Amino acid sequence: MKKILTCAAVALAIAVPVTSVQATPSDDLEAFRAYFKKRFPDVPFNDYINGVYAIDKASREQWMEIEEFPPYEINVEQGETMWNTPFKNGKTYASCFGDDVAAIKAKYPHFDDKGEVVTLEGDINACRVGNGEEPLKWKKGKIADLSAFIAYQARGQIINAPEPKTAKELASYEAGKHFFYAKRGQLNMSCADCHVYYSGRKARADILSPALGHPSHFPVYRSKWGGLGTLHRRYAGCNKSVRAKPFKAQSANYNNLEFYETYMSNGLEWNGPGARK
């Protein structure tokens, strides 16, 4: 009897961690939301689309004033001009994305046939190249303008990144999840260290934003940048802040991270472009 009990105890001890490792994406999503609900019990769920302004009243007041004359407005207009300007072959972006601009943003990110993550910016450049145009630089400038125009049309729609199902899709999802939680850089810090476990606390003069809702408001006009930038520009900046050599924008690492963060934000509203400090 003792032997049976010992065996059962050992089996249970082994099984418990295995179960936690094998959490499904929907398990992860549930746990992620529950964590932030417990951490910031007074913050309404949809307010997480406002980043740090959801959790800090003083910053929120300043931000609301900035939003009265949004600094990204001109970028949205420039993006609209790009959308309506034909390529040299006479076609427009609508030939790749369809005529309904408002329906574009919510389709991204998603998986391709190989289970790899496809981003909006990736498809913008694919569209350009497919129509004989030069690809745009990834992090800022024209690509951010067009992305801002597309995001603006989708405001209020619900984030609904697809559930990873195939082995390859799950591998991409797990890679993004691992990137999010793995410490890196000389400061030995992960995305989660700042934006999960220490969210709401200060790093020097800045309050760390909660990760829930991060992708909702990109591209973002950052006062620090003095302009608009893509989500991958921000990822590179975060990596540099912990003294980790950043990856290239639209690399598999950042694409997977974008998918993971977006999936974790499912159920919130798209509200890009945003304005941030």
Partner 1 sequence: MKKILFAATIVLTAVLGTACATSGETKSAGTATAAIAAAKEAQAKAHAVGHEFTGVSKMIKKAEKLAAEGKADEAIKLAEKAKFEAEAGVQQYEDQKDAGPRF
Number of residues forming the site for partner 1 (CB under 8 A): 25
Q: How many CB atoms lie within 10 A of CB 53?
A: 24
- Contacts with partner 1 in 235-254 (CB under 8 A)? 240, 243-245, 247, 253
215 cis-preceded (ω within 30 degrees of 0) = no
Among the candidate windows 48-56, 77-85, 115-123, 182-190, which touches partner 1 by CB under 8 A?
Answer: 182-190
Helix 142-153 and helix 73-84, axial crossing angle in degrees, nearest 10: 90
Contact 276, 222 (CB under 8 A): yes
Instruction: Candidates 107, 110, 155, 178: give the one binding partner 1 (CB under 8 A).
Output: 178
Distance, CA of 261 to CA of 192 (rounded, Å): 11
Three-state secondary-structure class, residue 112? coil
CB of 38 or CB of 204, closer to partner 1: 38
Q: How far is the CB of 150 from partner 1 (least distance, A)?
A: 30
Kindly write out the interface string for residues 123-152 of this chain, putting x where it contacts partner 1 by CB under 8 A and - elsewhere. Answer: ------------------------------
Candidates 10, 25, 40, 51; CA nearest to 215 is: 51
Verify binding: residue 13, partner 1, rule CB under 8 A.
no
Enumerate binding residues for partner 1 (CB under 8 A): 20-21, 28, 31-32, 35, 177-178, 181-186, 188, 190, 192, 196-197, 240, 243-245, 247, 253
